[in-house]
Amino acid sequence: MKPRPFDYARPDTVDEALALLAEYGDEARILAGGQSLMAMMNLRLADPAVLIDITRIANLGYIRDASSNIEVGAALTQNKLLAWPDLKTKLPLLAAALPHVGHFQTRNKGTICGSIAHADPSSEIPLSLAMLEGEVVLRGQRGERVLKAKDFQKDMLTTAREPDELIVAVRFPVHGKGAAFREVARRHGDFAMVAVAATTDGKGSVRLGVGGVAPTPVVRAVNGNAKDAIEKLASELEGYEDLHASAQLRKDILRNLGPLVIAEAEKCAA
């Protein structure tokens, strides 16, 4: 289908975008890559009165290496980050996760920050941000605030962004140690039924993250026996049922992928 009619605005600066957000609030939606939003508009699941296209704002498509973290701007596409030469050494988790985000063709347009804003429970980038304990930089006319990933993503498709705020950047803490990412989907590039990520510091401290089993990414430290920790996590999580998988299947995928991903992360740290 086609989207319902809307007013289109294409600001040249962040300040212009913030002024539009202040004026229209939740009547407006930000258009960056549009790989989720445009699909939702075509399906009439989203119906904004005003669409604010931020893709022509200069200097929003950046990658900034601030040594302890990597900051990416609101218009940076997923493929641009994937092609960044330092990705494998500084953010190996993202290097492993990004190839699972949609397809080559959608990553050409889809943005890192847009995926964070959309907050799909099975989405790879929010899971990676939660795993690395990254930050989201929000700006409005009232000022700027920086939220931890866990404080930003509140629920399924729901974030702490206020209607007058723009996500101007996200920051991924540099984690050059072991990292691994796997997911199960019906077809590569489709929405993950379950995504599992693991990181290690190379000294025995392991973190495990799961997407697609709860409304938001779930991240736990794994102490002691990995198998027991995974079993405990799988039994604690409620899981949810939809067209793609039952709650039970989701939990079973976690039980199967968990040990593999932890072993891969430990191997890559060694």
Partner 1 sequence: MRRVNKGTKVRIGLTLNGRKMSAETEPRTLLSDFLRHSLGATGTHVGCEHGVCGCCTVQIDGAAVRSCLTLAMQAEGRDVKTVESLAGPDGTLNKLQQAFRNHHALQCGFCTPGILMSFTDYLSRNPKPTEEELRDVLSGHICRCTGYAGIMAALKEAVGLT
Binding of partner 1 at residue 106 (CB under 8 A)?
A: yes
3-state secondary structure of 190: coil
Binding of partner 1 at residue 23 (CB under 8 A)?
A: no
Residues facing residue 170 across a β-bridge? 72, 136
Using alpha carbons, list the distances in angstroms from residue 33 to 99, 152, 214, 244, 249. 17, 20, 25, 25, 32
Which range of residues in 66-74, 116-124, 183-191, 238-246 is near partner 1 by CB under 8 A? 183-191
Q: 134-173 mask for partner 1 (x: CB under 8 A)? A: ----------------------------------------
Binding of partner 1 at residue 4 (CB under 8 A)?
A: yes
**Residue 11 or 126 having the CB closest to partner 1:** 11
* Site residues (CB under 8 A) for partner 1, limited to 189-208: 189
DSSP 225-249: -HHHHHHHHHHH------SS--HHH
Binding of partner 1 at residue 260 (CB under 8 A)?
A: no
Count CA atoms closer than 13 A to 232's CA, side-chain side.
12
Calculate ∠ Cα 62-66-67, nearest 5°.
135
* Token pair listed for 192: 């993950």
What minimum distance in Å lies between the beta carbon of 244 and partner 1?
14
Cα 109 off chain centre by: 15
* Site residues (CB under 8 A) for partner 1, limited to 64-93: 79
Which range of residues in 48-56, 126-134, 164-172, 238-246 is near partner 1 by CB under 8 A? 48-56
Which range of residues in 35-43, 89-97, 176-184, 240-248 is near partner 1 by CB under 8 A? 35-43
Q: Which of 21, 28, 51, 97 binds partner 1 (CB under 8 A)?
A: 51
Please choose, from the candidates 247, 205, 251, 210, the residue with its C-alpha nearest in 3D space to the C-alpha of residue 231: 251
Binding of partner 1 at residue 104 (CB under 8 A)?
A: yes
Q: Which of 108, 154, 160, 249 binds partner 1 (CB under 8 A)?
A: 108
DSSP 43-69: TTS---SEEEE-TTSTT-S-EEE-SSE
**Residue 51 or 218 having the CB closest to partner 1:** 51
**Residue 26 or 236 having the CB closest to partner 1:** 26
What minimum distance in Å lies between the beta carbon of 192 and partner 1?
14
Which range of residues in 104-112, 142-150, 215-223, 246-254 is near partner 1 by CB under 8 A? 104-112
Residue 162: Cβ within 10 Å count: 13
Q: What are residue 250's phi and psi, to 5 degrees?
A: -60, -45
Q: Which of 3, 61, 173, 215 binds partner 1 (CB under 8 A)?
A: 3
- Contacts (Cβ under 8 Å, ≥6 apart) of 249: 193
The answer to whether 24 and 50 are in contact (CB under 8 A) is yes
In angstroms, what is the C-alpha Rg of the chain? 18
Q: Which residues bind partner 1 (CB under 8 A)?
A: 1-12, 16, 31, 34-35, 38-39, 42-43, 51, 53, 55, 79, 99, 102-106, 108-109, 187-189
